[in-house]
Structure 1
Amino acid sequence: MTISFNDQVAIVTGAGNGLGKSHALELARRGAKVVVNDLGGARDGTGGSSQASLDVVSEIEAFGGEAIANGANVANFNEVQEMVKQAKDKWGRVDILINNAGILRDKSFSKMEMDDFKTVVDVHLMGTANCCKAVWDLMREQNYGRIVMTTSSSGMYGNFGQTNYGAAKAAVVGLMNTLVIEGQKYGIKVNTLSPTAGTRMLEDLIEDKQVMEIMSVESVTAGLVTLCDKESPNRLILCAGAGGYAATQIFETDGIYLSPDQQSPENVRANMDELLNRDGEKMITAGFEQTNKFVAKAVAFHKGESS
């Protein structure tokens, strides 16, 4: 079945270049009306120009699509609210939010200024939260919404020189996990994309032009599109790059139980192999499930002790 976005409205942040531009173009080709948001700054977030987003709008209009440009800074909630209002005033609704905007200020942690840490977190985490908050009530009223976060392998697994970026990118997964729970009864689905592509974010890290070409933005967008249509999954972390697609999932081992007289750090350490044993591990989908598991182990022990 062909995935279509006819009569739907999408907001794509950071859509003036790279992945965001690719996402915006493909959503428009498939019928969506698109808000092309881009502050127009450099890779580190400095500066600003509306030309990039205007150029993308022109491309969309050239093949018969509908789009408007917007220059909101996602880290500024008031500007984000105005962006959502602009979309609603023009098209009446917002069905899809693609949180793609981001910057880099890489340095080892020992050399990093905390202002650079905060600025990156403000754009990636607070920018994502601002956009989600600005569309949330509208999507609840519509009883429909699709939101996509953008995480990174740096956030899930770590990468030298990216403590700020990695922390923010891990945090948006936590944001997704709770929004999934809160959005379910309102027809809102929330997923996360973990892309790797030959964009300006990687131009200093990968010098091989052939590799950069293989890591096309279009290959990532093919995955993105599956996360925001009517039949999309929910709570999926989809990894995409160079034509490869995979899922990151968070599992918890079954673990151990120590009786009250055995609850010491030495005994935790002594049972580490069993604690790490992956037999019986499960994917937990809400925080209380972990609590329930531990309490059940304790109750079972005390019942056995008293019987």
Structure 2
Amino acid sequence: MTVLVISGDSDPTVNRVVLELRDRAVPVFRCDVGWFPTGLSLDAVLDEGRWRGSLTTPHRSVDLDAIRSVLFRSPTGFTFDAGVSAAELRHMRMEARLGLGGVLASLPVPWCNHPARQADAGYKPWQLTVAAQCGFSVPTTMITNDPKAVHRFTTDFPQVVNKVLGVNRMDDGPVTRIAYTRLLESADLADLTGVETTAHLFQEWVEKSFEVRLIAVGATLFAVAIRAHSAAARIDWRSDYSNLSYSVIDPPSDVVASVGRFLTAFGLMFAAFDFVVTPSGLWRFLEANPAGQFGWLEEAAGVPVSAAIADMLAGTA
């Protein structure tokens, strides 16, 4: 039986899991949906309520019936030959998504994570609601495109931060821009031009002793305290990795229980949770990324996340 790995070519996080699977002598078929249709083909027939057939690349093939589990992590978009019109391209992309994506999504095997469940959890307003329902302490949050609402919200808290709702990286030709969490200053509030153009997330600033990234692989949890040693890292530790220190920490029992409820609510087998731990010791939920990074923590803190994912995919966990 084979583990199907669906990801981009150059994902080092996936590479770690693939190496762990190979150490266990578990067959792996790795592909990217971005290879379809020129570098990946599908041949599937509905038979007794299940799609049967194969996925094939120029070098390998896997029978759909031979797939035991799926690791789905940040694949790229479909690639089509040049020379078609914009209307034809939209049609081809839709057909590929519904055809290839639909067959793959129907596979009755464990997913880490199923793309539909991962997409659901990617809606931050939804996940914040579910997090509160699951028992997490969630900071007061506003989502708006109204500058007047931002002014009203900021009067309720000593300090407020602005965060992106999705990916914080924007590739604009040769220039890459990254939007880190921003602590609003008086100058920001004096000119909120741009807020009206789209949805924005604003949140009360939570005083912190340190932060935690908690990786959940099913019921197996790895929690690492992240301590910031610069002003920039204290606002958003992603902005200054050189001034961070790490240590493994045991999460409180109530947080463990809430993590389990959250994973069940969204149907996830993996998520990377981010928390602020206040000076009084309260764990406050920031977000849960169903495709969050953990590779650098394996090196920095020695947490064997890739091994746990491989065990789960191989059915040995």
Query: TM-score w.r.t. structure 2 length?
Result: 0.28
The structure showing larger relative contact order (alpha-carbon pairs under 8 Å, at least 6 residues apart) is: 2
Query: TM-score w.r.t. structure 1 length?
Result: 0.29
The structure with more strand, counted as a fraction of residues: 2
